[in-house]
Amino acid sequence: MNEPVLIEVCVDSVASAIAAERGGAQRIELCSDLLEGGVTPSLGLLGVVRLNTSIALHPIIRPRPGDFCYSDAEFDSMQRDIEIAKSEGADGVVLGILERDGTVDVRRMRELIELARPLSVTFHRAFDMSSDLFRALEDVCATGADRLLTSGGEQECLQGVDTVAQLVQAARGRIKIMAGGRIGIENAPTIIDRTGVTEIHVGLATPAMSPMLHQNPRLSLGKAQGLEYQRTEVLEESVRRLHQAVTRREIAKLD
């Protein structure tokens, strides 16, 4: 019998986390600043999301935007954030560290994973920035991580679908391969069928209207000019439609 496909939704707010659970997601990746690819969420955000959801909660442990080669001070902050995640009831953490040459920093990854236990650990898409994906796969397996998130080294998973399939075969069951990278309702069944993955990572972000009645178009406080009042949210209906598409595929496989 085919293994049911797990849906992980990446969120950056309490409202999006609640919507993901209500829509049928089985796991949440919690981030802040998704415009920069996601960084470690605040203690307050982590705590309130945990209070309002019951599905698996995996905060990203990423001390800053940019590359994944971290200083000793940044590594220290990652260790502290892992301890906070454990104390706040997280079920897992999401992280990744690379060496300057684009290889996986196996030594420091092992330290973080040991600290994180018994939580589950995902090596995130820093993997897709590595210098050799198949060497990096062996290194990630050597760290003891539980799963690997990848788009096959491409911007979109559908572009890297053949590579993801090869990674699933090369992993030989030693680590879960989770497909991610602009996966949506239309392409999720195709990606699952072509890769053989049993977990997918999705964003499903929808533009959200600002509730502000007064807006100052002349001023921007951290975003590109004119974008100060723009943000996104995950909608319950979007997650539900994706869940239904994946479920219909699974039922069809049984017929």
CATH code for position 106: 3.20.20.380
- 121-162 tens-digit pLDDT: 999 999 999 999 999 999 999 999 999 999 999 999 999 999
More confident residue, 201 or 227: 201
Structure tokens at 188: 């999720």
Cβ 150 vs Cβ 175: under 8 Å: no
Domain-located, residue 218: no
pLDDT for 225: 64
State the total domains in the chain: 1
Nearest to 203 by CA among 67, 14, 15, 16: 16
d(CA 81, CA 85): 6
Specify if 224 maps to a domain: no
In-domain check, residue 214: no
Q: What is the pLDDT of residue 230?
A: 84
> Is-above-0.85 flag for pTM?
yes
Residue 255 has pLDDT above 70, yes or no: no
Percent of the chain topping pLDDT 90: 87
Inside any domain, residue 221:
no
- Burial of residue 70, with CB atoms counted within 10 A of its CB: 0-12 exposed, 13-18 middle, 19 or more buried: buried
Residue 249 — very low, low, confident or very high, per pLDDT cuts 50/70/90?
confident
Q: In which domain, by residue range, is 11 found?
A: 6-208+231-254
Judged on CB neighbours under 10 Å (0-12, 13-18, 19+), 197 is: buried
Q: Is residue 161 part of a domain?
A: yes
Query: What are the residues facing 201 on neighbouring strands?
Result: 8, 180
